[in-house]
Structure formats: structure tokens, C-alpha cells
Chain A
Amino acid sequence: MTQLLHEFEPAEEMERELIEKVSIVVSKGSLEGIYPALIMANGARMEGIEADLFFTFFGLDALRKDRQAKIKVATVGNPGMHMPTLLGAIPGMSWLATKMMARQMESLDIPPIGEFLEMIHDSGGGIYACHATVEMFGLTEDDFVPEVDGILTVGEFYDRSAGAQIIFT
């Protein structure tokens, strides 16, 4: 086995294949579900990598005019918070945790979701809503912030993603 592994070791001088395009699917509507995708998309553009964001299910909240500013950290069912479930369920707890995190992020120059989407849009990143979810929630284009480039079916999403690394969050 050792021998086999050794045989397949790539030659050192082999050129590293660089990522040229990413398509990131955002399926969760919590703050911690949305931010990593935005950071990765913006980070891709900063490296000259093409980037598309595809929002589906509750991830779509990030694009909704009526919900974008209300996105919160999950304080219940989130072991990462290191908070007893019943404590996390106290009214206002999620608001407080979000407030604290927002302050921390601002100090690190991480923008609020609306501004972040605008930055990604201006940097040439694509922002798309999932057609099936839009229908399921009974939404129309008017429900979305102006940075949205379009509503795509799954097929159209795959078509746009040709040659890209697809990342599901």
C-alpha cells in the first residue's frame, strides 16, 4: 500500500490548478448561515475568482426587503453558542446575541448583510434567488433588494455554474 501511494505521488513540478469560479448555495436563514457564504463570495472576487451566490429556502431571507435587517443568530439549537437551550429561548436573547455579534463584526470591518450584498454585486459577483423557493413562499421580484440579478431554476443554476466549484452552505 505504501508503495502504491508512493507511486501516485504527483510530480513536484506539476502546475497547481487554481480555482477560477465558485457557485455558492445559501440555504439557511440565520446570521451564521448567511455570513460565511458572503465572506467566501467576496473573498473569491478579491482574488479575481468569479463568484455566484444562489439563495434557496430560508437563505432567501437575505434578499428579502422585509426580512434582511431582521436576520438573527440562532440561540436555540445552536451548540456553538454554549448556552443552555432554555436560556437561549428567552425572548430577546437572539436579538441580544445578534446585536453583540454585529458590533464585533463592525469593528472588524465586516459590513451588514445589505451592504455586503451591494459590495459583492458591485464587484461583479452574481446574486440569484431560487425559483422553486420563490414560488413556494409566494414571492415576486418586488420582494427582493435591487442587487438580485435574477430568479433561476435549478437547471439554470447548474448551467451558470459550468466549470465552477459548487459550495453548499
Chain B
Amino acid sequence: MTMTEIAGVAVERDAEGFLVYPEDWNRVLAEDIARENGIPELTPRHWQVVEFMRERYLETGTAPSIRSLGKESGVPIKELYQLFPKGPAKLAAKIGGIPKPRGCI
């Protein structure tokens, strides 16, 4: 675990860059993490996915699977991969400041 400064604030992140404490998160931080991961700008569609991931995690304690992300976030799977080519669930979790999803699906 390392402390990094993003958006002018020091936050603790794990080796892969996921926030250790979800409460450290804010929207400016999200934009910064997105840029770090090859997404220059978060569009409303990106936000829809990121917010869905984060809310679901905060409610249930686990991040949704890619299947429920595709069915329930309002963004279909094809578009999820266009928005987050390097892996929608993983990237949306990272940008949303929640831990890396542990599921296989």
C-alpha cells in the first residue's frame, strides 16, 4: 500500500491503484484516476456506470458482476466495453473508489 497524491490530496492506494478507503473518494479524484487509466474524460455514460458500481458496493458490500452491470446499470455490455476497454468492472471500480471486484463473472 502506498500513499499517492491525486487531485492535490494524499490518499492511500493498493498496489494496483485501488483506493484503500472508499470514503476518500470524490468526483475530482475519479476524473484523475480515469485519466491515469487511459480515459481522458468521463462522459455521463461513464458516470452512470461508475456511480452504479459505487452505490451497489456501498449498499451490499460487494461490487456487481459484469452480468448485473450489463443488465441493471442501464448501459449494455457492448457499450460497457467501449467505455472501459481495459475491463469495465475493474476500471469502474477503480474510478469509483471501491475495492477491486473479486468475482469471476
- Shortest C-beta distance, A103 to chain B (Å), equals 16
Tell me if B105 and A122 are in contact (CB < 8 A).
Answer: no
Work out how many contacts link A and B, with CB atoms closer than 8 A: 43
Chain A residues, CB < 8 A from B68: 109
CA of A109 to CA of B71 in the docked complex: distance in angstroms?
Answer: 12
Q: Can you report 8 residue pairs joining A to B where beta carbons are below 8 Å apart?
A: A39-B104, A42-B105, A45-B81, A109-B65, A109-B68, A109-B103, A122-B70, A122-B81
Q: A42-B105, A108-B105, A123-B81 are in contact. Are A48 and B87 (CB under 8 A)?
A: yes
Number of interface residues of A (CB under 8 A): 15
Tell me if B67 and A119 are in contact (CB < 8 A).
Answer: yes
Tell me if A110 and B105 are in contact (CB < 8 A).
Answer: yes
Tell me if B65 and A47 are in contact (CB < 8 A).
Answer: no
Decide yes or no whether B66 CB sits under 8 A from chain A: yes
Name the CB-closest residue of B to A47.
Answer: B87
Chain B residues, CB < 8 A from A124: 81
Decide yes or no whether A46 CB sits under 8 A from chain B: yes
